[in-house]
Amino acid sequence: MFRELLIKYPEATKRVGLSILFVALTVAFYFLGLRENTFLAIFPFLNNTAEQSPVVVGLASATLAAVLFFLNWKLIGKFSRMQQMLVVWAELLVLLLVFFYSFDLSFEFIMRKIGFLVTRGVMTTLYISAISIAIATAIALVGAIAKLSKNGAIYGLATFYTSLFRGLPLLMQVYLIYLGLPQLGFIIDAIPAGILALSLCYGAYMTEIFRAGIQSIPKGQSEGAQALGLNHLQTMWLVILPQAMRVIVPPTGSQFIAMLKDSSLVSVVGVWELTYLSRTLGQTEFRHIEMLITASLIYWLLSIGLESIQARIEKRFERSYRR
């Protein structure tokens, strides 16, 4: 029925939809707490009315916010796609910073601690993440080839590994490696334990990504390479993988970003990475929220950096594929 109305009365249906969306936004803004305080900050002369009818003033505040939202959306629509993205990013960033500013943060405390947080915490996080990414990539490549093997024993090892390390929580893996290996006589420090846990966990997830990427290449490619005299290893390295990387890179990049954030879990074994230092530095003067917000923004900036690297790699393999 709705489809028939949309075809028969497209403009009327559009107006009704916009009206419903406007009402929904107004209600959402009201219950999200955008009430009389916001409205009175803009129109302070209505203080007496607010005392008598707080609900009315709250609805007026929410309605004003919904109107501003629609006007802003209409204005953004006049820009190009790139300009729209930049405007939306700028607006949301301002709202996020205003949200953080409302916490009554001590910026003097942040400035005193951020140097050590970056030089020690960020560097340790990047060190752990970089090594873990390299090891996980090697594990994933070997695991993917093993899962494509016709040998039952090799296939069994690969499937057991991926099932185990994808099935256990990463935090549990950190504890089992750091506390469990010494029970077998293998003493391991906190940082190597964290690197090993991250590598094994993300290597298992990336194994499936590599396997799917390799299988996405038509069999005719490997058959043609073998007809030219290439062995299995040469075929995989020179023919299959270069083409499969176009499929492998996007999800693998997402795994790298997730690993960067999950490196915070190694703080449970006392590694002085970003999350651990943000907690301990905040405890000295009971300024936990300042350090946690600072660490969150740093993680975000690091993730943006990885996203940029991922985009460049994707473009490179896309150009190579088109050639």
DSSP collapsed to 3 states, 150-215: CCHHHHHHHHHHHHHHHHCCHHHHHHHHHHHHHHHCCCCCHHHHHHHHHHHHHHHHHHHHHHHHHH
State the DSSP code for 32: T
> What's the burial of 2, exposed, middle or buried (CB within 10 Å: 0-12/13-18/19+)?
exposed
Q: Rounded to whole angstroms, how far apart are CA atoms 96 and 108?
A: 20
The Cα-based distances of 201 to 103, 135, 161 in angstroms read: 36, 11, 9
Output the pLDDT for position 51.
Answer: 54
Largest distance between two CA atoms of the chain: 89
- The one-letter amino acid code at 183 reads Q
Output the pLDDT for position 54.
Answer: 64
Output the pLDDT for position 227.
Answer: 81
Please report how many Cα atoms fall inside a 13 Å half-sphere around the Cα of residue 5, on the Cβ side.
8
pTM: 0.80
Output the pLDDT for position 61.
Answer: 74
Output the pLDDT for position 44.
Answer: 55
Residue 314: which residues within 8 A CB-CB, separation 6 or more? 246, 249, 250, 253
Query: Going residue by residue through the chain (323 aa), what tens digit of pLDDT does each one get?
Result: 556 655 665 676 677 777 888 888 888 877 776 545 555 555 555 555 545 566 666 777 778 778 888 888 888 888 888 898 999 999 889 888 888 887 888 888 889 989 999 999 999 999 999 999 999 999 999 999 999 888 999 999 999 999 999 999 999 999 999 999 999 888 899 999 999 999 999 999 999 999 999 888 888 888 788 888 888 888 888 888 888 888 898 899 999 999 999 999 999 998 889 999 998 988 888 888 999 999 999 999 999 999 999 888 888 877 766 65
Output the pLDDT for position 322.
Answer: 62
308 φ/ψ angles, rounded to the nearest 5 degrees? -65, -45
The Cα-based distances of 130 to 61, 259, 263 in angstroms read: 49, 10, 10
The set of long-range contacts for 265-270, using a CB threshold of 8 Å and a minimum separation of 24, is 265/170, 265/171, 265/174, 265/194, 265/197, 266/128, 266/174, 266/190, 266/191, 266/193, 266/194, 266/197, 266/198, 268/171, 268/174, 268/175, 269/174, 269/175, 269/178, 269/190, 269/193, 269/194, 270/190
